[in-house]
Structure 1
């Protein structure tokens, strides 16, 4: 069972994450967070002596969550179509929660963390997506003539370029619809013939009900 201090830290990080990712941390004051959490600013500073400490805690919690999702997905015994769907949807959503303003604030005010994020994103996606693709080829679920390097770059570009709040606003589609469309267009083309029915079933079963 978690102690009171651990619970308090998680509350602070959780609330700060919501605000930082949606608005950027430069626009969110510690006074505002204290009001939203209904605790004193002094209490927040007891756990996080500076705002930068809180920013780092939020950053570390998010990257740890993404890492866990990738690890669990790649290591699971699910079939390839299910792994592919989970990796793209679950991990992709986690990545896109890092809003554009938050990333801009990282670059402007905490360049070391901005560089760390870029390294993490590149290495985490590359390493785990490569593993998944290699497993898919070995299982006969993916075509063997695929250029894995190009495919990984398509994946990264789709996440960073298409699945953003700004882009989604212009397209008037939900994040789920955007992910599913990209999945359908890209991965249906790289799957081996025998794997397509299972993958299409996965997409159909996961579709939001009206």
Structure 2
């Protein structure tokens, strides 16, 4: 099991840094100073490895988001914590990651779509409804429409045709769009509270 975990950890690191297509099974074996044959004892092929790495990443993100929700005082506190979490998780991710997933690894891509369209979207819907009830978000917003917009907004930053990687830095771009989304839904009260929470979190982090 230790070897399997090491393979998954190395694959995750290399995929995030260089993209999926450009990383071969030989690269992963070289990184761990093991034979490629050893990798195939645990994973049928690269597609199997990519799927497993993607599943683990989704599970980790799900737990992270659930922990944030449980530890948050309110919807605004949750947003502020998500912004910190996003900046940390997106650091050094290769923008080609989702493109490679979509083009070359359908099973893993379908897993990402399910995660995005169900868990992430539902999480946004819940947050929006909580914020509206407290008067932090504008009551006239269409929750379903904005939740769909937000999940698609996250994905489109990985599109090199829209945001060339030589011109846009992925984590900064994501934060720009996140802030644009957040400030578009806040009431005056919500805006003041969001800034207060952000200032506190930035001092800690």
Indicate the TM-score class for this superposition, using the shorter chain for normalisation. 0.7 to 0.9
After superposition, residues 1-210 of structure 1 pair within 5 angstroms as 5=1, 7-90=2-85, 94=89, 99-162=94-157, 166-167=163-164, 169-171=166-168, 175=171, 177-207=172-202
The runs of 4+ residues in structure 1 deviating greater than 6 Å are 95-98
Cα shift at 1:68: 1.4
Q: Is the 8 A contact 1:19 1:28 kept in 2?
A: yes
Cα shift at 1:91: 5.1
Distance of aligned partners of 1:185 and 1:32 in 2 relative to their CA distance in 1, 3 Å threshold? closer
Q: Is the 8 A contact 1:24 1:105 kept in 2?
A: yes
The separation in 2 between residues aligned to 1:162 and 1:105, in whole angstroms, is 14
- Normalising by structure 2, report the TM-score: 0.80
Distance of aligned partners of 1:162 and 1:34 in 2 relative to their CA distance in 1, 3 Å threshold? closer
Q: Is the 8 A contact 2:96 2:158 kept in 1?
A: no
Task: Calculate the aligned-residue CA RMSD, in Å.
Answer: 3.1
Shifted more, 57-66 versus 153-162: the winner is 153-162
Q: Is the 8 A contact 2:87 2:175 kept in 1?
A: no
Question: Residue by residue, what CA displacement relative to the aligned partner does 1:76-129 show, whole Å, maximum 9, x if unpaired?
Answer: 343322201223452586579875533333333332332232222111221111
Q: Is the 8 A contact 1:12 1:44 kept in 2?
A: yes
The separation in 1 between residues aligned to 2:104 and 2:157, in whole angstroms, is 25
Aligned length: 202
Distance of aligned partners of 1:201 and 1:181 in 2 relative to their CA distance in 1, 3 Å threshold? farther
- Normalising by structure 1, report the TM-score: 0.78
Q: Is the 8 A contact 2:75 2:128 kept in 1?
A: no
Runs of at least 5 residues in structure 1 that lack an aligned partner in the other structure: none
